[in-house]
Structure 1
Amino acid sequence: MTPHHPGEEPQRTGRQRALALHQLTVREVPPAALPQIAATAGFGHVCLFTHVPAITLTGGGKAAFPTVDRRNIRAVRNSLRDHGVGVTSFEYFPIAAEVPVESYRDAIALGAELGARRAVTHIHDRDEARALHKLGELTDIAAEYGVGVGLEFMGLSPACNSLQRALWFVEQAGRDTIGIGVDALHLIRSGGSVEDIRAVPPRRIVYAQICDGIGLHRSADYHAEALDRLMPGTGNFPLADFLRALHENADLDVEAPQSGRRQADMPPLDRAREAFAWTNTILANALGTD
């Protein structure tokens, strides 16, 4: 499969969606430099972090990512403006028993100031009633700032470890401003499939994240793989079918962190360009364009 390169984005009449470079794909890049990297590679949007909580995932430690805060938000906002780049999602605001949702307010406000569309959450609280209450509270706080909420499921979060479980939470929340985010790796490693996406009301899935991998097996311990993924189109995930199953307005993020190539000093711009090129190839295949 030959990738399309910047400037060769396939025509997607009636199927236009935001295509975003996720911060994790170029993890070492400071937030203020991310828009330039994205624009140079061909992306029109980015996903970034305004909050990194002290949540330990199954099989992994506590995360540390480049983060937008009050000290650098002016530079980030200027960079977004100067390079004509928008923000789709900003991360991340997990529902956890020990964390008051109100503590996320300032970081949600930062995302809103950047013009972001939605805040990303995961559910780690195994108390179903409490988790649902907090999810509603988070959605209401985000709505105060004019942003939605995207709930992601993953096998590394037992409280919400499947697409069906995420759909249940979203439907029970009973709010129009919350939807589901489907990450290709998490879908497959949680035992999900493209057929599961097709079974969900199309507008419930508001964005998707793509990468690639080897094997369609289920796993509850794939933290290392989550940090070292393949570029879309270089593994055997059914990504074309995955994209065809999504609603045409669902945003698309390329989340393909590659810790091995980063440690081998492959420049972040080169990885971003590869991400854009391979993703366009998948889009062309999925949408039947040349």
Structure 2
Amino acid sequence: MRNLGIEFISVFGLPPVEFVHLAADLGCRHISTALISVRLESLGYPSFSLRDDAGLRAELRAALDDRGITISLAEGMVILPNADVSDLAADLDIVAELGAAQINTLSFDKDRARTFDQLATLTQLAAERGMGTTVEMSPRMTFGDPATVAAAIEHVGGSGLRLTVDTMHWVRSGYGPKELREFGPEKIGYVQLSDTTLRPRLASYLEEAMYERLAPGDGELPLAELLDVVPADVVVGLEVPMRTLAESGVGPMERLRPCVDAARELLTR
């Protein structure tokens, strides 16, 4: 069985300790996290900051250890046009303290050369703290196609940087299993698994990606074929935010249990 996790946007700001228990109760081994809450305010969860609250960090670490859960991916380490990634050193210290295996990044800086240099610095900073780095490809972003990601990996060099395959982003960008195999399985470091339709379901791509994805098998993506390309030791995180269900009163366990069951069935084919 592959390593299965739950991505933080699937739970809409559920407090971190509760998130750990949810993942464990679902039989998953991993979660992703960000240092500040990314809430759906209509659900009423309290805001939190792992950056500012040392007590919460201690509670989270204790829960992770108690339930046998690891942070497979730390999010929020983004490349910005008017900022230097060296300023993220303190945040990297925190996620390393929490035991994160990898950090994930994307770039909002359209300057490709600067982005690549910043990525190299970020990868080095993470490596110094015992963490790998993944870069997420997404439509209309600086890392918007496999060729750019491959060039970035070559620019950085070494084995510290790999690709996060978000199945929605990958297929909606026009790529499939063939292109993923050509990209190279050895360059894949993480998978964010969700399903969706081939054509947009909402007018805003960002809104759809952040709030309305489908459980594996409920859409039209070639998930089994994509996963066939992915090395068996790569963590697969379920990234299935379902705002409509959440706002109708369906809780996180009830929303995510069918997703976990569908993912397990998919991963054991």
Q: 2:106 pairs with 100, 112, 122, which one?
A: 122
Whether the 8 Å CA contact 2:76–2:104 is kept in 1: the answer is: yes
* 1:198 and 2:181 matched: yes
Whether the 8 Å CA contact 1:31–1:76 is kept in 2: the answer is: yes
- TM-score, length-normalised on structure 2? 0.90
- Residue 96 of structure 1 and its aligned partner are, at CA, apart by 1.5
2-side partners of 1:96 and 1:241: how far apart?
34
- The correspondence of residues 161-200 of structure 1 with structure 2, limited to 5 A, is 161-200=144-183
1-side partners of 2:94 and 2:20: how far apart?
16
Residues 50-105 of structure 1: per-residue CA shift (max 9 Å, x gap) = 2689xxxxxxxxxxx86532412111111111111111101021111112111211
| Structure-2 change in CA distance of 1:177 and 1:248 (3 Å) | same
- Residue 111 of structure 1 and its aligned partner are, at CA, apart by 1.2
- The correspondence of residues 4-19 of structure 1 with structure 2, limited to 5 A, is 12=1, 17-19=2-4
- Residue 247 of structure 1 and its aligned partner are, at CA, apart by 1.6
- Residue 220 of structure 1 and its aligned partner are, at CA, apart by 10
Question: Which ranges of structure 2 fall in alignment gaps of 5 or more residues?
Answer: 39-46
Match of 2:31 in 1: 46
2-side partners of 1:279 and 1:70: how far apart?
35
Deviates more, 1:111-120 or 1:266-275: 266-275
Q: Give the root-mean-square deviation of aligned CA atoms.
A: 2.0
2-side partners of 1:51 and 1:120: how far apart?
15
| SS of aligned partner of 2:183 | coil
Quick one: percent identity of the two aligned structures?
Answer: 26
One-letter amino acid matched to 1:280: R
Of structures 1 and 2, the one scoring higher in RCO (CA 8 A, sep 6+) is 1
* 1:69 and 2:51 matched: yes
- Residue 170 of structure 1 and its aligned partner are, at CA, apart by 1.2
Whether the 8 Å CA contact 1:27–1:66 is kept in 2: the answer is: no
Question: Which ranges of structure 1 fall in alignment gaps of 5 or more residues?
Answer: 1-11, 54-64, 286-290
- Residue 221 of structure 1 and its aligned partner are, at CA, apart by 5.0
* 1:254 and 2:241 matched: no
Whether the 8 Å CA contact 2:13–2:37 is kept in 1: the answer is: no
| SS of aligned partner of 1:281 | helix
- Residue 116 of structure 1 and its aligned partner are, at CA, apart by 1.1
| Structure-2 change in CA distance of 1:110 and 1:186 (3 Å) | same
Match of 2:91 in 1: 107
Match of 1:61 in 2: none
| Structure-2 change in CA distance of 1:51 and 1:166 (3 Å) | farther
Whether the 8 Å CA contact 2:79–2:119 is kept in 1: the answer is: yes
Q: Deviating runs (4+, > 3 A) in structure 1?
A: none
- TM-score, length-normalised on structure 1? 0.83
Q: 1:133 pairs with 109, 117, 120, which one?
A: 117
| Structure-2 change in CA distance of 1:103 and 1:175 (3 Å) | same
| Structure-2 change in CA distance of 1:137 and 1:51 (3 Å) | farther
- Residue 201 of structure 1 and its aligned partner are, at CA, apart by 2.1
Match of 1:283 in 2: 267
Whether the 8 Å CA contact 2:7–2:32 is kept in 1: the answer is: yes
Match of 1:215 in 2: 198
| SS of aligned partner of 2:268 | helix
| SS of aligned partner of 1:199 | helix
